[in-house]
Structure 1
Amino acid sequence: MVAHSFRGEVFGPAQRLHGATFVVDAKFKRAELDADNIVVDIGLATERLRAVLGELNYRNLDDVPEFAGVNTSTEFLAKHIADELAEAVHAGSLGEGARGLSGIEVSLHESHVAWASYERPL
């Protein structure tokens, strides 16, 4: 759950401060299973995703210094979360097996008809 506003006529009434509630999905991709026959340690991935979301939850994103001057669109937030997860992979925070991942995709769902995804390679 976040609050934010947008700049630009394309956003219409969403230029005013408003709230958004998202369901977040993270997809981890690889061509072959690791030595333990898994794609990623789901426990470590869940912990890291929870930590990334915890930094955003119940915040007015307009007040987050890191996002100053940025339209924090659903797409932007999906990219931000994917990038944070990618950093965790590179740092080894998701376990050594995660180094074999080829990509991450993050989807944010506001409803069954309003959602966006961002996919990035590793």
Structure 2
Amino acid sequence: MMVAHSLRGEVFGPAQRLHGATFVVDATFVAADLDESGIVVDIGRASEQLKAVLADLTYRNLDDVESLAGVNTSTEVLARLVADRLADAAHQGLLGRPADELSGIEVTLRESHIAWASYQRPL
């Protein structure tokens, strides 16, 4: 996912100015057990849903996205947004397994091999 954005707060130093960020987005789905096919979720469906939830963010200046107005789009906030959208997809049955059979989702956004953040949420 490639985005542009600026961050508010002195803690962000020069990232307070408009800048670009490229993230590799990983989604991990958690279940207490494998289903009858021996999987947690269908990887193909999960990949499709991940692509869908990123579609309106990729190649955008997040400062201009109306739904993110007033939101400090830190890596952690973006990971939470993606996790919440994937949770919605799970509750809609779009992952090939009922959401009540999943216990959680973890989304990691990696900017490099030394800079990343993750967000975990229950389902």
Q: TM-score range by the shorter chain?
A: over 0.9
Instruction: Please give the alpha-carbon distance, in whole angstroms, between the structure 1 residues aligned to 2:110 and 2:93.
Output: 28
Quote how far apart the aligned CAs of 1:97 are. Answer: 4.2
Quote how far apart the aligned CAs of 1:30 are. Answer: 0.5
Aligned residues: 122
Q: Deviations over 1:37-87 (max 9, x none)?
A: 110011111000011112111000000011001110000000000000000
Report if aligned partners of 2:42, 2:97 keep a CA contact under 8 Å in 1: no
Q: Map 1:80-119 onto structure 2 (within 5 A).
A: 80-119=81-120
Gaps of 5+ in 1: none
Which residue does the alignment assign to 2:9?
Answer: 8
Percent sequence identity is 71
Quote how far apart the aligned CAs of 1:29 are. Answer: 0.5
| Moved beyond 2 Å, runs of 4+ | 95-99
Report if aligned partners of 2:90, 2:98 keep a CA contact under 8 Å in 1: no
Quote how far apart the aligned CAs of 1:112 are. Answer: 0.5
Report the aligned-residue RMSD.
Answer: 1.0
Gaps of 5+ in 2: none
Quote how far apart the aligned CAs of 1:5 are. Answer: 0.3
Instruction: Please give the alpha-carbon distance, in whole angstroms, between the structure 2 residues aligned to 1:97 and 1:6.
Output: 37
Instruction: Using structure 2 for the length normalisation, give the TM-score.
Output: 0.95
